[in-house]
Amino acid sequence: MHFRFKQNKKTLSFNTRGMDNAILNLPESVNESGDGAGISNADCNDFETFVKTTLARMEMKIDKTVSDQRDFKEHLAQIEANIQNFEHSLQYSTEAVDELRTNQTASEKRIDTLEKTVQALTSQLNETNVENIRIQRYSRGFNLRFGGIKERPGENCITVLTDLLSSKLGFDDASAMIENAHRVAPASRRPKDGPPRHIIAKFLRRPERLRVILKARKALQNTGIFVTEVLCPQDLKRKREVSDVMKQAYLQGKKPRFVNGNLYIDGKLYKPEQHSGPTLSRD
């Protein structure tokens, strides 16, 4: 059964299934005849109270349901707003990542360009260094270093060397062989009891310079005077590195020669990786 009531200008419809027990408790005459002849005023009042109470509870449940639905809609709207904010943040993050990738690509291109530039400059620098060493070798190829010659106040280095070449090495044209000569470093830097400063001499012609080297090996033995080539810094460093190998080769009766940064022993180029140490074996 359904009942429809008007309360507070609202029409309420409800099912009476919950009121079955109340109806079953009505007097028998009502259940059988249905004319209400046996219903008392007290029974009617109880039924009316029950209906009002039930309707009030139902109205409270409906209000709570409506309130819960309204809260749910608000919560759902907040979730949708959060989703939109997240989507906006995600879009911004994606754009930022794309921008970073673009910048990274541009940076990588600049780095590649810089690396190529560095490689080109390094190659040019190496070529320049090689050319510089070649020029130094050529220029110093006219020079010789004389050591062990005593210093005298007011000396003329060209005259000192001319006398040495004439008296010790037997050159008749010594005065026409040397273009220039000087002591290395200022005299003030020489210790009082130190050895005499070396003399650097520049010869006019390479063949004459070579003749001096060859004659000096024998003619200046046991005199305390020595003659060496004037090497550029790179060749001098390399010669010091292989000095032990050269000494060992001399002791073994071989002929070591240091030319243009390379060591030759009996005419063969010395390669460090082919030897475990400075000791060389005879062929």
At 17-55, the pLDDT tens digits run 544 444 444 444 444 444 444 557 777 788 888 888 988
CA distances from 147 to 26, 178, 195, 198 (A): 146, 16, 9, 5
| Residue of 56 and 21 predicted with greater confidence | 56
Q: Residue 175 CB: number of other CB atoms within 10 A?
A: 14
Residue 217 is predicted with a pLDDT of: 87
Mean pLDDT over each residue of the chain, to the nearest integer: 83
Grouping H, G, I as helix, E, B as strand and the rest as coil, residue 199 is: strand
CA angle, 58 then 59 then 62, to 5°? 85
Residue 46 is predicted with a pLDDT of: 82
CATH architecture of 142-229: 2-Layer Sandwich (3.30)
Residue 274 is predicted with a pLDDT of: 58
Q: Domain ranges for the chain, please list them.
A: 2-83, 142-229, 232-283
Residue 38 is predicted with a pLDDT of: 55
Q: What is the pTM of this model?
A: 0.55
CA angle, 4 then 6 then 8, to 5°? 150
Residue 12 is predicted with a pLDDT of: 46
Q: How confident is the model at residue 192 (pLDDT cuts 50, 70, 90)?
A: confident
Query: Residue 241 pLDDT more than 80?
Result: yes
Residue 39 is predicted with a pLDDT of: 58
Task: Quote the CA–CA distance of 276 and 283 in Å, as a whole number.
Answer: 16
| Residue of 277 and 181 predicted with greater confidence | 181
Alpha helices of the chain — where are they, by DSSP H? 20-24, 28-33, 41-140, 157-167, 206-219, 233-241, 243-251
Query: Residue 137 pLDDT more than 50?
Result: yes
Mean pLDDT across the stretch 203-230?
93
